[in-house]
Amino acid sequence: MSLSYPIESLAAHPAHLSPAYRSSIKRAPSRPLIPMRHTLSELTGPVYGHEAVRESDNDLTTQHKGEPLGERIIVHGHVLDEDGRGVPNTLLEIWQANACGRYIHVRDQHPAPLDPNFTGAGRAQSDAGGYYRFVTVKPGAYPWGNHHNAWRPAHIHFSVFGHAFISRLVTQMYFPGDPLFEFDPIFNSVPDEKARMRMVSAFDLENTQPEWALCYRFDIVLRGRNATPMETK
């Protein structure tokens, strides 16, 4: 399969400089990026076998002696290319705050409790159809220092690879209906509302497990289109 990576697709991304997100002010390039043709270096990418993922890595609730506190949830979906085809056997990595909105990272000083039964990191590989699934707890919102009374909407960080080094994506999955959306400069750094909403998972009643866990669906669309359109009869 030969894929192309139209540059126009990148319009969905935030600008590097988004002044409302203060940390971007000194970390965004001031010179224009230089366009170039994609070469084999850009069009290839790391390929992973199952060796990077242990069987239990996609269940963040079973990594310790006891179960973490919080609302158990299932997060699942497909990794897709721009033509809607599943991206098979690709690595997904996630990390998140615990149910109280606290990360185990040493620099997180939010005065909310750590949970000895929750690290907050997970890993999965999509199957042959691009499908992935995690079990975790719903992360809490948490305050940050960007501006007065700044709070991040609850989110799970996702890192995904795809077919090429230029399909690499790091994003955040949000939860539907979060009242913090309109106040969050990171969420709103994505200029197009429809594109913004693609970062919001959908409540998935159908796949909710009765008596056990609510389910959210989050499909991730990576760059990449069929370079040679299929012939039609």
Partner 1 sequence: MQEPKSKGITPSQTVGPFFAYGLTSNGKYDWNDAFTNNLVTADTSGERIRIEGRVFDGDGQPVPDCMLEIWQADAQGRFSDPKDQRALPNSAFRGFGRCGTDANGDYSFDTIRPGPVPDPDGRAQAPHILLAVFGRGMLMHLYTRIYFDGEAANAADPVLALVPADRRGTLIAKRQPGNGNAVYHFDIRLQGDNETVFFDI
- Residue numbers 200-219 binding partner 1 by CB under 8 A: 202, 204-205, 217, 219
Our CA angle for 150, 154, 158, nearest 5°, is 115
Quick check: is 78 catalytic? no
The answer to whether the CB of 175 falls within 8 A of the CB of 220 is no
Total of residues contacting partner 1 (CB under 8 A) = 88
**Phi-psi sector, 120: left (phi>0), alpha (psi -120 to 50), beta:** left
Q: Which is nearer to partner 1, 91 or 99 (CB)?
A: 91
Q: Which is nearer to partner 1, 54 or 233 (CB)?
A: 54
What ranges make up the beta strands (E) of 107-226?
Answer: 121-125, 131-137, 142-144, 150-152, 155-160, 169-174, 202-203, 214-217, 220-221, 225-226
What is the rounded CA–CA span in Å between residue 179 and residue 191? Answer: 19
* Interface with partner 1, residue 128, by CB under 8 A: no
Stretch that binds partner 1, among 68-76, 132-140, 167-175 (CB under 8 A): 167-175
Q: Within 13 Å and on the Cβ side, how many CA atoms surround 15? A: 12
User: Which of 21, 142, 174, 216 is labelled catalytic?
Assistant: 142
Quick check: is 54 catalytic? no
* Interface with partner 1, residue 107, by CB under 8 A: yes
Stretch that binds partner 1, among 65-73, 113-121, 126-134 (CB under 8 A): 113-121
Q: Within 13 Å and on the Cβ side, how many CA atoms surround 74? A: 18
* Interface with partner 1, residue 197, by CB under 8 A: yes
Cβ at position 233, least distance to partner 1 in Å: 25
* Interface with partner 1, residue 34, by CB under 8 A: yes
Point out the residues that are catalytic: 103, 142, 152, 155, 157
